[in-house]
Amino acid sequence: MSFDFLSIGQSLYYGIVIGALYGVAASGLSLIFGVMRFLNLSHGALIIAGAFASYWIFNLLKIDPFLAIPLSMAVVFIIGLLLYLGIFGRFAKFAVEPRIRNSLLVGFALLVALDNLMVLLFTADERSVTTAYSGQVFQLFGLRLSYAGLIGLALSILFIVALNLFLNKTFFGKSIRATSQDYETASIMGINVWRTYMISFAIGAAMAAVAGTILSTNYAFTPSIGQPWTIKSLIVLVLAGVGNVGGVLYAGLLLGVVEAMSVYIIGAPYKEVVGLVLFILVILFRQGGLFVKKAGGS
């Protein structure tokens, strides 16, 4: 088999761009599971909700989608608050195993319901956000690098780093970490666990809006792709280590590059299979994830 190094480099670029998007898509899911042990399978629908928020803000208010990310995050943050107050907050008093089981079942039902609600509201038509720089590229060593892809890559890294700094450097972030480690002790020490859970869930939803905005500017989307994005987020969650928010960028990049190279080597029809095989191998041989230290945590 002969290798075209230019094609390999182009595939790696695509893999890095989509991999960073996988990372930011999984960051909110990882935060929610790490803090509350809620396995929210409706996370993909929240990503698509963020994509639609970006689409309508751009078309109605004429605000660049990347500049409008705070608005998209605010919209999905409120949706997250409503989902927690109306549904997921009821599981907070359960033990860990019932939390996971019930949140998984309810999350799957919400995924289907929200997908259908978006079809009802926005139709099943394929959409994308087309800006003045959409489709524009520049060449570097023969590689075609899109402006939208590079901006999306930079923003994905920026928001993941910002989330980790928030969790590690701010008072409320440290409250979130303390609650995730031992909510009973955190409560005794004066932390409002219920409020911490509620805001953590909403922040996780808001991070889904970041992924949705970047998705809408680089790829076409429909309401029905919420399920595939939930699966991608779960794969990254497992690769990074469950609840390891700091590892989602590396895990997302790994998944993106592996998928991109599989397209180059064995063809596009097998791309999804390769990601799932990687997921299974980690489950079998490295249950703690690839980016968690064996002793002492992430």
**DSSP 8-state assignment for residue 297:** B
User: Quick one: tokens of 22?
Assistant: 């996988």
Phi and psi angles of residue 266, each rounded to the nearest 5 degrees, phi first: -120, -5
CATH code of 278's domain: 1.10.3470
Residue 204's pLDDT is 96
User: Quick one: tokens of 230?
Assistant: 């939930």
Distance CA(249)–CA(44), nearest Å, equals 17
The structural domain count of the chain equals 1
Residue 294 lies in a domain: no
pTM here is 0.92
Q: 193-218 vs 69-86: helix axis angle to the nearest 10?
A: 140
Residue 88 lies in a domain: yes
Residue 221 lies in a domain: yes
Residue 297 lies in a domain: no
Distance CA(108)–CA(85), nearest Å, equals 18
Residue 243 lies in a domain: yes
Distances in Å between the alpha carbon of 131 and those of 42, 59, 62, 63? Answer: 29, 10, 10, 10
Give Cα 280 to chain centroid, integer Å: 20
pLDDT 10s digits, 181-202: 887 888 888 888 889 999 999 9
pLDDT 10s digits, 103-156: 999 999 999 999 999 999 999 999 999 988 888 888 888 888 999 999 999 999
Give me the domain span that covers residue 196. Answer: 5-123+132-285
The proportion of the chain whose per-residue pLDDT surpasses 70, expressed as a percent, equals 97
Q: Average pLDDT over the chain, rounded to whole?
A: 90
Distance CA(37)–CA(257), nearest Å, equals 29
Residue 136 lies in a domain: yes
**DSSP 8-state assignment for residue 94:** S
